[in-house]
Amino acid sequence: MNKTIDSLLLMSPYAAAWAQPQPHAGKQADSQQPNIVFIMCDDHAFQCISGYGSEFSKLAPTPNIDRIANRGMRFDRAFVENSLSTPSRACIMTGLYSHQNGQRQLNEGIDSTKTFFTELLQQAGYQTAIVGKWHIGCTPKGFDYYHIYNDQGQYYNPQYWGNTTNHQFVVEGGYSTDLTTDHAIQFMEQRDPSRPFCLMLHHKAPHRNWLADTKYLGMYDGVNFPLPATFYDDYATRGSAARTQKMSIDKDMRWEQDLKVPELLDTTNIDSKDSYRGLMGEINRMTSR
């Protein structure tokens, strides 16, 4: 049976969408069950997606993402239960609020006894897979195929593990986005075409500390990007979560690792040295394996 991909979703950790199996599907899938491809990029600001029309994105258009939006649905108003990386993933997998699934903060563990939606899809006859960033404190469950990063993953020559590697860590040469996409395609090419599938494609990019593929490092040389409208915001009128976040450029970004200015290494400062080592470690990964 040749089946098309009926549901193609582009997500960041700030929004989630669900596709439920047919109520009478049972273990044998019928022809009405849609295939599901769930694409998630990490910390991708909507202003950087040109489909939203910001001045910033006009200088760095995203035509392929825009094509998905034009052919489907664009989220202009959406509620997010918990916008942190791991807690948001826990909400997506369980469909539960953070106080119900146990993953309230980054360092708290998910209650892995909760049902993951992929387990329900399996019961309905779906083949299920996840590739890329998992970053939840338990082994993936409800997946027939998983090939995921070690922890948050690395941009260059990342480590993967999963039931595809006998749960051994394997270093793969290349850039994380390309490699993860290749594994997603591999799953789709090798799946059972007579059954519906759900594929979760979780990219690391553009998560901090923002390291592009080497072929794109000079792509925006000479381009002057406008400052965000909130660049000088003092957060005086914002809620407590916005005021206490630790992602401000002037207060929290590390000169060496985040802003890529190794010349500002202060050998007398422990944090500066740690930041410098982090940057050099990533740079060394460009060529090492």
| Domains identified in the chain and CATH numbers | 7-202 (3.40.720.10), 239-285 (no CATH)
CA distances from 126 to 2, 123, 149 (A): 15, 7, 23
pLDDT reported for residue 287: 77
**Residue 250 tokens, joined:** 């002037």
Q: CB-based contacts of 24: which residues, under 8 Å, 6+ apart?
A: none
- Prediction pTM value: 0.86
Question: Could you report the average pLDDT of every consecutive run of 10 residues in the chain (289 residues)?
Answer: 41 38 44 90 90 90 93 86 88 95 88 97 98 95 97 95 95 96 97 97 94 93 89 88 82 92 96 95 81
* pLDDT value at residue 22: 40
Beta bridge pairs of residue 202: 40, 132
Torsion over CA: 124, 29, 67, 145 (sign): positive
For position 77, what pLDDT does the model report? 87
Cα–Cα distance for residue pair 264/280, rounded to 1 Å: 13
Residues 6+ apart with CB under 8 A from 243: 235
Q: Tokens in use for 131?
A: 């590739």
User: CA 224 to CA 55: how far, in whole Å?
Assistant: 11
The per-residue pLDDT for 222 is 93
Q: Cα–Cα distance between 106 and 87 in angstroms, integer?
A: 6
From 126, 127, 133, select the one nearest 147 (Cα to Cα): 133
Which residue is it, tokens 């941009």?
155
What is the three-class DSSP state of 90?
helix
Q: Specify the pLDDT at position 49.
A: 93
